[in-house]
Structure 1
Amino acid sequence: MQKPFFIVLLIAILGALAIYLLAPELNGAIAFFTGVIITSVVYSISSKSSSMTSDSEKPYTGPTMTLYVGNLPYRVHEGEVKALFGEYGPVNSVRLVRDRKTGRRKGFGFIEMSEAGAKKAMNKLNEFDFQERTLKVREAKSQDSDKADSSD
């Protein structure tokens, strides 16, 4: 917490020095306080914008749903899938399945996102053309229900 204070102080001193060099007729104290004011305004604006971006990266904590996404392009990255599904609601995680031996993607994955967003994404993105592939989007079955089905 003290690190930003020293950064602000250093920038204020540099700003005061710059103002003093640009307008030598100003008193040094006035130049310093002008530098402090300008620095605090810039710092408060930058800290607000950084807090806004960090809020959007916090995991969604409401009701979630996990989606199965099939027929994904083999070269797609998690970020691209997250951006696609993020248009419909907050995305907590994207897991693209890889082959254990080769490490190559298998063309399917799982997205955990808000329940409302997942329902919208299922409606909009099932049969959607994405990077020349037609996506298959369904609600993922839990592994527990698969085990229960096989024991019958």
Structure 2
Amino acid sequence: GSLQIWWISFQWRRIEDWTYFSYVTFMVLPSMIYVLSYLVLPADLHLDGATLVREFIARRRPFYALLGLVPLASYLQQWMLVGDVPLHDVDTLLRLFWLVAAVPGFVSPRVAVQATVAVASLAHMLLYISLLFVQLH
């Protein structure tokens, strides 16, 4: 996640007129990813698998609430930095996936649901990164 955000952020290098608010908006996404990482990883990384699962299930609601805000933060960032947000393109649909994926993860404490969301998220991330690289070439 962090590497992807840094890569996408590279496109903002040509913006010449930065304000304090555009910089704060720019930093929202990396900050959100940092907090998401904190919520996923427990303080003690030497826990067994079952305890790690219980730790995540206990933190899943703030994790998925924040994950659902990621697309909204990315739209806010784009709007603040370039003044528009495309609404009818593949990138918009792919970003909205995080909002949709957050709902079942937020609602259900079942391990099977969490595993399904995790696998779908990994597949989505790989697809998203692949499409970004295709657009760059």
Higher Cα Rg, which structure: 1
| Bigger RCO (CA 8 Å, 6+ sep) | 2
Larger helix share, 1 or 2: 2
TM-score, with length taken from structure 1: 0.24
Which structure dedicates a bigger proportion of its chain to strand? 1
